[in-house]
Amino acid sequence: MKSTFDSGPQSTSTSDAESPASALSPGERIKTLVILGASGDLTGRLLLPGVAKLIASGRAPGLKLVGAGNDAWPAQQWQDRLTESFADALAPGGVSTADGIAELKSVQADSTYHQLDVTAKGVLGTFLKTVEGPVALYFALPPAVSQKACEILSTEDLPAGTRLVMEKPFGSSTESAQDLNATLAKLVPEDHIHRVDHFLGKSTVLNIMGLRFANRLLEHSWNRDHIEKVEIVFDEPLTLENRARYYDHAGAGRDMIQSHLLQIMAIMAMEPPATLDEEDVRSNIAAVLRASNVGEGADLERYTRRARYTAGTIADRAVPNYLDEEGVDPANGTETLAEVEVFVSNWRWAGVPFILRSGKALGRARKEAVVTFKPVPHLPLGFKGTDSPTRLHIGFGPETLTLDLDVNGPGDLFTLDRVQLQASLASDPLLPYGEVLDGVLSADPLLSVRGDTAEECWRIVEPTFAAWKANEVPLEDYPAGSLGPDNWSTSNDES
């Protein structure tokens, strides 16, 4: 299968699509947000609350909201869903303003739900002709359903300025991602496609870039000569939470590492872009991913780890064995904790492992990137205490910065003690989906995953997933509420 993006970053400025859908003027905002899969869990739990906060903050004026799904929902059931999802945003305080709350109430009152089979030829296209454009068409659907729906769309079906918003996972393999990219390229230009990764909120991306590129001290040492390893960790105490239908087929590797953590890694490792323009930033992200592979050879048992939680206790809550959770099929061999070591084969990062880890049912929430610097070449004889490595922690939600240093005292000036310098970083008060949707509605693709990088993320991890499926890497256990298997170094990090 030939990739749509074989020609490299320059291919993102053109498209096979020549249609009114590409006719959105610079600065022209989306008028209508159409959510496909509006009756699904993702829409109610994450997407609609994000939309609500965005509108209530006054940052989505004049937006219309339309829901569509397979379920035969009466109008009142859709309104009940909106009432539940909008509750926090409608409460005064936080980011909500009086005018924004009034706008949100108006949006809810005017919002409609439509039962549609988006995989039936002509149905979605006919429906879109009744919607005011420009339109953001949000596919809150499984990848295979999104693929089929797009295959039967034509450029004539799309209102002028249409933006296609694709929820992760984007495809289920390199080949399926290539197929979906090829399909989308026939409908709209690449910069009208938003592949949503809610980890790529504006505050997360810009905080990393600002920290790196605005501080000579850091940028000077941000390379293989000074850095020993980089860890990107997303551990959470949440368990399956009634998501077996999706999660038991995805697992921690596909759910988090394949998408979110590889994207964060690429931002941590990218070269300085000339500008913050989406083409400059996304091209530098793509360059990192093209140079990346799991491990430094074929020994994936050495460079990857996987585990699954057993019965345990988190806080005061008893958690059953994962295999006893409702909807779980033991034959799937699903991991709930995964870790891979990625190496970026370029001048800056050769030999430095980027350790990506994510898991569920763990004893603490840990969401951060940790940069561990190499030891000093020589510590003068006479110092006592522990000479610990200098480490920089970048926290995600809340956005924080912590620098671990060894300093003298207090007390004996010859004894080194550990101190932490801490700071809060700027953050957007919007929910993650609100941040991403803000870029969609304002026609800014900066925070969206570009097509070639979506393909590269699958290429990087597919050998690992194949090795896991073949049981070439053992599936370990850890009790729910623990920090993971004791023999994993990342499980013993008390930072």
The reply, when asked if residue 229 is annotated as ligand binding, is: no
The reply, when asked if residue 148 is annotated as ligand binding, is: no
- Residue 73 one-letter amino acid: W
The reply, when asked if residue 277 is annotated as ligand binding, is: no
Asked if 260 is an active-site residue, the reply is yes
The reply, when asked if residue 360 is annotated as ligand binding, is: yes
What is the rounded (10 degree) CA torsion for 434, 168, 396, 439?
-30
- Residue 76 one-letter amino acid: Q
**Quick check: 71 and 115 in contact, CB under 8 A?**
yes
**Quick check: 388 and 415 in contact, CB under 8 A?**
no
The reply, when asked if residue 117 is annotated as ligand binding, is: yes
The reply, when asked if residue 202 is annotated as ligand binding, is: yes
The reply, when asked if residue 121 is annotated as ligand binding, is: no
The reply, when asked if residue 2 is annotated as ligand binding, is: no
CB-facing half-sphere around the CA of 160: CA atoms within 13 A: 5
CA pair distance 184, 449, nearest whole angstrom: 14
Residue 495, both tokens: 């930072």
Strand pairing category for 193-196 and 112-115: unpaired
Distances (CA, A) of 274 to 156, 171, 396, 445: 37, 31, 25, 17
**Quick check: 240 and 365 in contact, CB under 8 A?**
no
Cβ neighbour number for residue 233 with a 10 Å cutoff: 21
Identify the active-site residue in 249, 260, 378, 393. Answer: 260
Q: Which residue positions form the known binding site for substrate? A: 198, 202, 236, 255, 360
Binding region for NADP(+): 117-118, 168
Binding positions are: 117-118, 168, 198, 202, 236, 255, 360
Show which residues are catalytic. 260
